[in-house]
Structure 1
């Protein structure tokens, strides 16, 4: 199970389900519409949507590395994120799920999509690039 950081929990994000039973499961991160993520009246704020995409990207890569047995040995450093806003976020629950496009020894590329009622109508999407760095071991 993927644990979301305090920022995600403060924004009301939570993990809801596995994304595809035919492929290795990627977590689906959801966020309900609320006063803390409202932009212009009646719409989700773009920053809240961007935050959801980012959290889903991290959750996806963590789940992938966990399946590979190397999650505990590395730390992830985001290099960049490029977001495409495609539709206005309506006042309802929004979902996001990612796919690891490539994960090498040092770099990973993740694609994330966000949608609301209809998964075929994306609200936003993003590309994230991560540096995969070994965790520093504390001196004994």
Structure 2
């Protein structure tokens, strides 16, 4: 199990995408929380301004994968079988957070629900479901 700031940094350094978007992992009240600090290059709509929808989706998919890596005993990276996202609110030009919940953890497949928010977890920007191959 990966659960120290140093181990989180090492894990994120292994992912070029996570490094590019500036993704972070932290423990909040003993739970994994994923954090995307605001960066101007993540803007998709200059008029609002708002984060790019693909960035939000990519961040959430990466959160699901990293969540499984952190909670498993082995360090194998799961592969995405299916990823479905519902956008609920605009992701404004500010920090974005995500938390994951494993709904099924079998030997070969895991189902993970991801919630992303800015103001409060009670007001999600998006929710997603990831089906991951663990082999």
TM-score range, shorter chain: 0.7 to 0.9
The 5 Å alignment of 1:44-83 reads 44-65=51-72, 69=73, 71-72=74-75, 74-83=76-85
TM-score by length of 1: 0.81
**TM-superposed deviation, 1:75:** 4.1
Report SS of the residue matched to 2:91.
Answer: coil
Q: Are 1:17 and 2:27 counterparts?
A: yes
**TM-superposed deviation, 1:40:** 0.9
Q: Is the 8 A contact 2:23 2:36 kept in 1?
A: yes
Q: How many residues align?
A: 123
**Cα separation, 2, equivalents of 1:132 and 1:89:** 30
- Matched residue, 2:34: 29
- Matched residue, 1:112: 114
What do residues 1-38 of structure 1 show as CA deviations (whole Å, max 9, x unaligned)?
331212111111111323x43xxx3x211112222210
Unpaired runs of 5+ residues, structure 1, are 134-140
**Cα separation, 1, equivalents of 2:45 and 2:134:** 37
**Cα separation, 2, equivalents of 1:16 and 1:107:** 25
Structure possessing the higher radius of gyration over alpha carbons: 1
Question: RMSD across aligned C-alpha pairs, in angstroms?
Answer: 1.4
**Cα separation, 2, equivalents of 1:34 and 1:75:** 27
Q: Is the 8 A contact 1:64 1:100 kept in 2?
A: no
Q: Are 1:38 and 2:40 counterparts?
A: no
Report SS of the residue matched to 2:50.
Answer: coil
What do residues 22-77 of structure 1 show as CA deviations (whole Å, max 9, x unaligned)?
xxx3x211112222210111111101101110111012111221xxx2x23x4411
**Cα separation, 2, equivalents of 1:15 and 1:106:** 25
Report SS of the residue matched to 1:52.
Answer: helix
